[in-house]
Amino acid sequence: MSDYRGYEGKSLEFLKHNKIKVGDTVKITTNSDNVATIMPRYEHGDDQHIVVKFKSGYNVGLEINNIKKIEYISSIDTNQTKEPSTAKPKPQLPKILLLSTGGTIASKIDYRTGSVTPALSAHDLYAIVPELDEIANVDAEVLFSEYSENLTPEHWKKTAEKLDSYSDSDYRGVIVAHGTDTMQYTAAFLSFALAGFPIPIVLVGSQRSSDRPSSDAASNLIAAAKFIVKSNTGGVFISMHNSESDDGIACHFGTRVRKNHTSKRNAFETIGAVPAFIVKQDEIIQNSKSRYFKQKQYTPKINVDTRAALVKYYPGYDPKLVRDLISHGYKAIIFEGTGLGHIGKNMYDVIKEAKESQIFLGMTSQCHDGRVNMAIYESGRDLLHLGITPLSDMISETALVKAMWALGNTKDGKIDRLMTENIASEYTE
């Protein structure tokens, strides 16, 4: 790797003149003195700035003209790679499998862009959280290395197939390291596809990368491991901070959770209830008595059919967009309607067309909480008469995933019964 990756023109001349390269720790004088590490530039950046990482973990661009003085302190070898450390197994501890799919929790500094990138292996995750060694023997495996926005239903299926292969293993549970942006979609699919899975599956993410002092990566992983070892339950969960502090980690049902903030550590919230479990130090607090914990048998249903769409209704929505879905062969449409589950009367004709095409039509609400009830107002009753199925308090994203799953696992495409059945706590009881 170049000692000046991403630098060119004036910024490159500046570094060379001061005998500074990427990875060097320096003292920089602008309006004040600061110690920082020189980071690589993004390949398409200008030549007027250098990028440094302060001890806070933040990358900052400094304009060359504003730097009064820069002094070399020390160097690191940015090409150096270390073999991931592996703890010696402890026979008295249970076994946990850690699958890595990527995301911020599995990230490190990328010396091409100067940003965090999903490049850590699952072994690296284990190595940087040594506390896991006191909780369980952790086997690690890389499944994918992708930001979660790049994951597709095909990735969901491959993840489910991998997990299914361990259904008869001696693992106490499985941690799935996952990016947070689409983690609720993956969790929902796994909840349906692997309903009754004999051991807990816990998806874990991080809102802040491991190079930042405020990172939640380690605490979320530790809590997930403790939950698996101590909870004695099955099901699919998402384990993330319960508040901005470190005093508790929430374990949410995979079908009842939504990411509600872009950056807070407690971005994930259970909708319509409190989290199923809270992990506090070595204590596991159970808040839910859902029948989901008492699945009688495990019969995996892992297929997926993506011919389902989520339509967010808004004033002025063009019915032609739904006609496009019909013409493209979609088999299910989930509406995210207003209030108790309404869409405008300008949609009635296209609803009739969709039902004539034997498309499943489900109704959820745009509201953050509460239940769909289409029997109260005249417009809701009209929509019921037209064939729309109310989906109570199922989250719209969960309903979309469930429709894809139901279509993939129903031969005749008749998914009405499956969509209204409470399979994995997608409806609150």
Q: Which amino acids are annotated catalytic?
A: 104, 180-181, 259
The C-alpha atoms of residue 173 and residue 159 are separated, in whole angstroms, by 15
250 and 233 in contact (C-beta within 8 Å)? no
Backbone angles phi, psi at 400, to 5 degrees: -60, -50
138 and 225 in contact (C-beta within 8 Å)? yes
The C-alpha atoms of residue 186 and residue 102 are separated, in whole angstroms, by 13
> What is the identity of the amino acid at 157?
K
Helix (H) or strand (E) holding 160: helix 153-164
228 and 136 in contact (C-beta within 8 Å)? yes
- The CB density around residue 355, as the number of other CB atoms within 10 Å, is 14
Quick one: tokens of 121? 């292996």
DSSP 283-320: EEEE----GGGG-------------EEEEE--TT--TH
Sequence-separated (6 or more) residues with CB below 8 Å from residue 72 = 18, 19, 20, 24, 26
3-class state of residue 153 by DSSP? helix
The C-alpha atoms of residue 103 and residue 318 are separated, in whole angstroms, by 36
